[in-house]
Structures are given as C-alpha cells and as structure tokens.
C-alpha cells in the first residue's frame, strides 16, 4: 500500500443505558472539547465488540454488557480529525460512571436534558437512539 492510499478508520461508540432513560456521556479531555458518547478506535487484531467493551470501561470505569449493534455511521465529515466509520452499540451497566483515560468526567443524562456542546455526529446518533427507543424504528441508510 502506498503513502497515498488512505482508508477510513474503524471506531466504536457505545450508548450505555444507566438508570431510567439515562445514557452515559463523557466530557472529553482532548480536541474536540465537549461531550460525547464513550468510544474510540478499534485496535489492530481487536473485534468491534472487544473494542466497545474496552473503550466503555476505559472512559467510564463501567463494565458494560453489549445488548445490540445499533447502526453504523460513516459520513466522512462525522469527525473533523479523520474519516472514521463508527459501529454503534447499545449496552447496559450498573454503578456510577467515573471519567478516566480520554474522559475528564462521565455523567448520566436523559433526553431533553443533554449537555452542550455534544461533539462529532453524536447529536444525530443520540437523536436516532431516542427515536428508536420510543418507536422501534432504526435509522435508514
């Protein structure tokens, strides 16, 4: 592969359900600053599921149980740093989230009381998720 060959980078994001209608968001330490779903890059040799479990625990200090693969988001502009493709999982957890690794804080929020700003394409992901929870309708390509 030449230096000019570029491919999108695989990532995972995790919607961690905690409490009644709550989801865990992290306050990012690094650029871009703001709130985000826990997640990150898939390591070489790592499955998407293993990456989701690892990133969730690294950033929220929670051991999560993956419930389902929700959707894949691939808009080239979803992350201003790189072209990424994110596979999003829905997971559950128990306990109190605590920011760690790339997260300075981790907190639970409910629809209608989300913090600002939310970075990347995570406002769209969260909107799609809340619609799915209310109606059972998944996003369409």
Whole-model pTM: value is: 0.94
Confidence of residue 2 (pLDDT cuts 50, 70, 90): very low
Q: Is CATH 3.40.50.970 the right assignment for the domain spanning 9-135? A: no
Pairing state between β 9-17 and 84-92: parallel
- What are the tens digits of pLDDT across the range 78-88? 999 999 999 99
Domain ranges within the chain, ordered by starting residue: 9-135
- What are the tens digits of pLDDT across the range 34-44? 999 999 999 99
């Amino acid at each position: 592969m030449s230096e000019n060959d570029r491919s999108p980078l695989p990532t995972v994001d995790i919607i961690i359900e905690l409490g009644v209608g709550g989801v865990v968001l992290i306050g990012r330490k690094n650029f871009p600053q703001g709130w985000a779903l826990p997640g990150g890059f898939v390591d070489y040799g790592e499955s998407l599921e293993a990456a989701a479990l690892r990133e969730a625990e690294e950033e929220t200090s929670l051991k999560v149980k993956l419930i389902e693969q929700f959707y894949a988001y691939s808009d080239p502009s979803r992350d201003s740093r790189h072209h990424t493709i994110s596979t999003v999982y829905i997971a559950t957890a128990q306990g109190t989230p605590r920011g760690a690794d790339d997260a300075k804080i981790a907190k639970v929020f409910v629809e209608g009381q989300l913090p600002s700003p939310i970075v990347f394409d995570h406002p769209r992901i969260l909107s799609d998720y809340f619609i799915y929870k209310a109606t059972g309708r998944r996003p369409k390509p």
